[in-house]
Amino acid sequence: MKIIFKFILLLLVLSSCDENGVYDNYIHVSDSTWDKDSIISFKINLDDTLAKNNVFLKVRNTVDYEFSNLYLFTVITFPDGRVLRDTLEYEMTSDEGKWLGEGMSGVKSNLLFYKKNVVFYEKGEYILSVQHGMRTDKLEGIKDVGLRIERE
């Protein structure tokens, strides 16, 4: 029994190691309803001005999410005050209507590719803001919105 416990503990420790992760965080959406005026912001302090990074947005949705896609408006504010805006579209279901995210229960986790080979040339605080761009004021079925930055 002790051997099995130690093996499981070792697996948990090894699986929790994330040597490429620079930043990884979720922000909870109250009542799984994302208001159009609600802007979700991530503040990230970065010091490495040489490394190439991949940036992902993360969305946890319930099966109550009624659309097959998701439009997002993003704004990155650099430490010097410059701003970069993007409009993004992600598929949330296959053509057959099957959820594309991971998860066995009624919640699906989606890792959505945002930017590749990004070098953060300035040290300091970066702010990434995300707002949904769907044609409804209250977007039902979104539980959490997250950001992941990892070294390439």
pTM of the model: 0.85
Q: What is the pLDDT of residue 105?
A: 85
Report, as an integer, the average pLDDT of 122-126.
97
How many separate domains does the chain show? 1
Report, as an integer, the average pLDDT of 13-34.
82
Range(s) of the domain holding residue 41 = 21-151
What the block records as the tokens of 131 is 């707002």
Q: What is the pLDDT of residue 129?
A: 98
Work out the mean pLDDT of the chain and round it to a whole number: 91
The amino acid at residue 126 is Y
Span of 5-9, 40-44, 140-144, 145-149 with lowest mean pLDDT: 5-9
Residues 6+ apart with CB under 8 A from 2: none
Is the alpha carbon torsion for 149, 46, 133, 30 positive or negative? positive
Report, as an integer, the average pLDDT of 25-35.
97
In a domain, 59, yes or no: yes
Tens-digit pLDDT profile for residues 1-17: 666 655 554 444 444 45
* Residue 95, SS3 per DSSP: coil
CATH code for the domain in which residue 100 is found: 2.60.120
- CA 107/CA 61 separation, integer angstroms: 6
In a domain, 43, yes or no: yes
In a domain, 11, yes or no: no
